[in-house]
């Protein structure tokens, strides 16, 4: 099993190309089930989750083709993929596939919308907390589907097709918003989603669906309206830049010091996180080429944050920001409101010398003057990269095991950091 070895102490200087967003690419790929024509997606990241979803979609009959690298294309640039669901050959998403990636449950919406039936395994638990599918089920039921739970599967039938309805989520759910928006695109009449997720990835999906012929308005607000159409057609869509990757590398620069251009990044996708970094003493500037991140020898200032749905501070940057605060000149607090079990990285950061106390959903971080390298273990995707960030600023060598978590969400992380002066390598154990 691979490990990543980091030798800390170097500033980061140079250019890091920002990949397409994994959290946008996955629902966009699933949207290919809504049409029998080809959906072409560019700027798709080369990630384990993307490869896994490709396998899941092929089980339903989606043909998948990757365009070859064009002359002059950089190895770190995204790929272009063509997805064609000319014929849905199977409306069942089996447990052995769904259990490997929660987002694959979202196929339930397009399948029942197009085929009027679906049988999708319940996804089970998650290392960072339970994420129930009640909102998905209630939403599809409101659209007129008959739903039963049989042997660990959600069985959905809508023999007369889905019908538009008003759906109000008890709390914001990105996955449920994705799923109901896709299902409603082919429903009869108008659907109104109240308390919808406002994340950029939801906006990106809406933009793609509209390019396919869907009638959607209100994306990016808490109320989305979809006027159903009889069919959708193929389209070409570029995946939005990854705001979590952007924030992660920005925090790495804040941690080590240096001057890096995050090429292709957009500040409007993560205003709150970048403003928090500014408060911590980092200079951030939007340019035509991306976002410039700079921190000189000045110390890191402590900042309190609370994770919230967009446009608030993202839960997916909480672990990375905690790593940064371990070197702040004072105490800071991080309150996690999205997931109930997302502080598993605390004990691993403590192995590097961090001083962190957890009380319920709040972690108090007392900054230390130095971290020291040590063997640590990744517990989930975002926690794993927080350990890399800490290792970049720690004295000596840090080894991170279970890095398969990283491969789910960060494309060629070692190459991107090495190109900016970091001493980091992947070792096959």
- The string of pLDDT tens digits covering residues 186-212 is 999 999 999 999 999 999 999 999 999
Q: Which CATH number is associated with domain 22-238?
A: 3.65.10.10
Q: 200-211 and 174-185 helices cross at what angle (nearest 10)?
A: 10
Average pLDDT of 76-88? Answer: 91
263: helix, strand or coil: strand
Residue 310 CA to residue 203 CA, distance in Å, equals 12
Token pair recorded at residue 428? 């096959």
Of 262, 247, 266, 249, nearest in space to 200 by CA = 266
| 365-422 pLDDT, tens digit each | 999 999 999 999 988 877 889 999 999 999 999 999 988 888 888 999 999 999 999 9
Average pLDDT of 302-306? Answer: 98
Domain positions in the chain are: 2-18+241-428, 22-238
Residue 296 in marked binding region: no
| 104-161 pLDDT, tens digit each | 999 999 999 999 999 999 886 444 344 568 999 999 999 999 999 999 999 999 999 9
| 332-378 pLDDT, tens digit each | 999 999 877 779 899 999 999 999 999 999 999 999 999 999 999 98
pLDDT at 127: 44
Residue 22 in marked binding region: yes
Instruction: State the first-to-last Cα distance of the chain, in angstroms, to the nearest integer.
Output: 5
Residue 23 in marked binding region: yes
DSSP character string of 253-268 = HHHH-EEEEEET--GG
As a whole number of angstroms, the longest Cα–Cα distance in the chain is 66
What is the percentage of the chain residues whose pLDDT exceeds 70?
95
| 65-75 pLDDT, tens digit each | 998 554 444 55
pLDDT at 424: 97
The CATH number corresponding to 2-18+241-428 among 3.65.10.10, 3.40.140.10, 3.30.70.2860, 3.40.50.300 equals 3.65.10.10
Cβ atoms within 10 Å of 230's Cβ, excluding its own = 8
Catalytic residue set: 126
Asked if the domains at 2-18+241-428 and 22-238 fall in one CATH topology, the answer is yes
pLDDT at 73: 47
pLDDT at 130: 45
User: Which pTM does this prediction carry?
Assistant: 0.94
Mean pLDDT value across the chain? 93
């Amino acid at each position: 099993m691979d490990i990543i070895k980091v030798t800390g102490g170097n500033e980061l200087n140079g250019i890091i190309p920002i990949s397409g967003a994994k959290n946008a690419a996955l629902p966009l790929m699933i949207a290919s089930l809504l049409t029998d024509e080809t959906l072409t997606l560019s700027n798709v990241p080369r990630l384990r989750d993307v490869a896994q979803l490709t396998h899941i979609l092929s089980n339903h009959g989606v043909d998948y083709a990757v365009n070859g690298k064009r002359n002059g294309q950089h190895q770190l640039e995204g790929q272009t993929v063509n997805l064609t669901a000319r014929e849905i050959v199977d409306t069942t998403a089996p447990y052995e596939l769904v259990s490997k990636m929660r987002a694959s449950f979202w196929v339930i919406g397009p399948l029942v919308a197009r085929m009027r039936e679906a049988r999708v395994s319940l996804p089970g638990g998650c290392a960072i907390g339970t994420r129930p599918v009640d909102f998905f089920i209630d939403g599809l039921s409101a659209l007129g589907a008959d739903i039963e739970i049989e042997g660990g599967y959600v069985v959905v039938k809508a023999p007369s097709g889905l019908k538009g309805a008003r759906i109000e989520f008890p709390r914001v759910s990105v996955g449920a918003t994705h799923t109901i928006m896709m299902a409603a695109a082919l429903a009869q009449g108008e659907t109104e989603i109240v308390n919808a997720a406002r994340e950029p990835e939801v906006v990106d999906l809406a933009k793609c669906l509209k390019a396919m012929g869907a009638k959607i308005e209100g994306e990016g607000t808490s109320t989305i309206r979809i006027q159903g159409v009889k069919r959708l057609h193929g389209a070409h869509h570029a995946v939005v830049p990854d705001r979590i990757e952007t924030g992660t590398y920005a925090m790495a620069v804040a941690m080590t010091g240096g001057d890096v251009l995050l090429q292709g990044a957009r500040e409007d996708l993560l205003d709150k996180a970048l403003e928090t970094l500014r408060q911590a003493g980092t200079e951030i500037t939007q340019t035509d080429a991306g976002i410039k991140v700079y921190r000189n020898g000045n110390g890191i200032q402590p900042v309190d944050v609370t994770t919230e749905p967009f446009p608030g501070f993202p839960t997916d940057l909480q672990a990375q920001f905690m790593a940064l605060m371990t070197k702040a000149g004072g105490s800071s607090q991080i309150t996690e409101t999205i997931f109930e079990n997302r502080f598993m990285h605390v004990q691993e950061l403590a192995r590097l010398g961090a001083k962190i106390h957890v009380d319920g959903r709040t972690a108090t971080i007392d900054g230390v003057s130095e971290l020291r390298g040590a063997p640590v273990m990744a517990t989930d995707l975002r926690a794993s990269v927080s350990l890399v960030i800490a290792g970049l600023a720690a004295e000596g060598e840090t080894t991170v095991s279970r890095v398969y978590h990283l491969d789910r969400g960060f494309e060629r992380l070692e190459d991107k950091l090495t190109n900016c002066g970091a001493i980091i390598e992947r070792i096959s154990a």
